[in-house]
Structure 1
Amino acid sequence: MPGPRSRVRRHLRNLLALARTSASRHQVGQARWKFLTWCADADIPEVRTLAATVDRWWNEIAAFIATGHSNAKSEGINRVIKLVARNAFGFRNAGHQRLRTRCVTTRRARGHLRTA
């Protein structure tokens, strides 16, 4: 039998999977209620914290479910920029630091474009 953490993942995945189904607002509301109710009944602090986070970010999650679009790509690029900036800390020339960040975030550097 799956543990409570795997069940909460399953409930959250079921909620987010509605983005690919053109679900009605009623269906989304039912899935949200089911997820939050299950989390509230769970006697696990981390699960309750997750439920509070989902509830706090519900407008953004609902927009994702309605449109199927997220800002994951831009968030990933921002994470890489911060990482490179952290590694390049100490460059005396801000232009070099900016150039290094730009080079790392291009498609060629990330491996999307292959040259023969």
Structure 2
Amino acid sequence: MLQSFPMPAEVEGCSCYFARNQKEYENEQYVYVDDYGNNAYIKLDGHMIKIPMEEGDFDPSNFSKVLEDSEYRISMSGKKTSEQDETMMFTGQLTVLIKKENRTITTPVYGECGC
């Protein structure tokens, strides 16, 4: 099960963070967080998972992102809903493939990327 979590202490500065909906977002309970180029974080079945990423893995113009390591594949898609200064709001869908179980978890997401 994909679980929500507060902002990881390692993430500072520019980042993307998404919750299942606007209420969880406002309560800072996220299902996905990344730091714009080094690591992405999700929480599955009670375990925090950190997946390495590279800068440029995210295209804000059409809001698509795919991250993968030996155990997981995370993909996100959606659309930009607004933009202010250096922050962009998005709505979309997050899908996590757990490779060893051949199990997929999908959830709607609401959140932002910015500095």
Same fold (TM over 0.5): no
More helix by share: 1
Greater relative contact order (CA < 8 Å, ≥ 6 in sequence): 2
Which structure dedicates a bigger proportion of its chain to strand? Answer: 2
Given the two structures, how large is their TM-score scaled by the length of structure 2?
A: 0.20
Bigger Rg, which one: 1
Q: What TM-score, normalized by structure 1, do the two folds share? A: 0.20
